[in-house]
Amino acid sequence: MADFVELEAQDGVRMTWNVVPGTKTEAATCVVPVAAVYTPLKPLSGAPTLPYAPLRCRTCRSILNPFCTVDFVAKIWVCPFCYQRNHFPQHYSSISEQNLPAELFPNFSTIEYEAMDAAANAASAIPTVFLFVVDTCLIEEELGSLKLALIQAVDLLPDRSLVGLITFGTFVQVHELGFATMPKSFVFRGGKEVTKDQILEQMNFFGGGKRPPLGVVAGPRDGLAPDSIRRFLLPAAECEFAFNS
């Protein structure tokens, strides 16, 4: 137990389970869902900042980490989440059991990356997304204070930042901030289980287009229409009406 406490203190992450279910059957029998609580902007001690972009799995886009299986001869790493075999790019050509990159060190369970050159320029063109997930099970006075705090928080964000809003109580509401005519949201019953596919379909994320068969839904490159993204993520400079309504 002490090991898990030390890891929580090191990474600023607390999991509902210390072991992730290995099969769908195990996942279905979990009474408490698999989840994690993160400490934003937690300072890292001892871990280096890597001057290149993270290496991602080509199927699920998870990042190379100490739990991956590595074939040093074939220069292949196996994703621990989807078991996809991925080839190392050319700049990992010198990798070996005696020459590991920092992201494979067991003690570096959290890593910071600093993208350089073209990757940095591409990243700077992508606005940061702030998704507010708000518990509305409060008395009226507290709700008023919460609303003011949210408005103040949005005012402090860069104008280019994208902002989304989800509120939950008896029902879960995903707010369509881009609908300027009137407040609009998609409502899900709090006591009913819904899958990611059901949510994507109900909220019409693909706008009638064909959904890609593999990989996670992360943006236009996965077939997600840009208009669908703009429906739920609004620039911070345009959020005042939505948050005051």
Domain end position, chosen among 72, 107, 124: 124
Q: What pLDDT score does 97 carry?
A: 92
CB 216 within 8 A of CB 61: yes
**Sign (positive/negative) of CA torsion 81, 82, 85, 86?**
negative
Neighbours of 64 (CB within 10 A): 20
Domain ranges, residue 14: 1-40
pLDDT-based confidence at 125, cuts 50/70/90?
A: low
Same domain, 20 and 114: no
- Element containing residue 201 per DSSP (H, E): helix 196-202
pLDDT-based confidence at 139, cuts 50/70/90?
A: confident
Same domain, 186 and 229: yes
Same domain, 133 and 239: yes
Task: Pick the range with the lowest mean pLDDT from 101-105, 125-129, 216-220.
Answer: 216-220
Stated pTM of the model? 0.57
How many domains are there within the chain?
3
Same domain, 239 and 131: yes
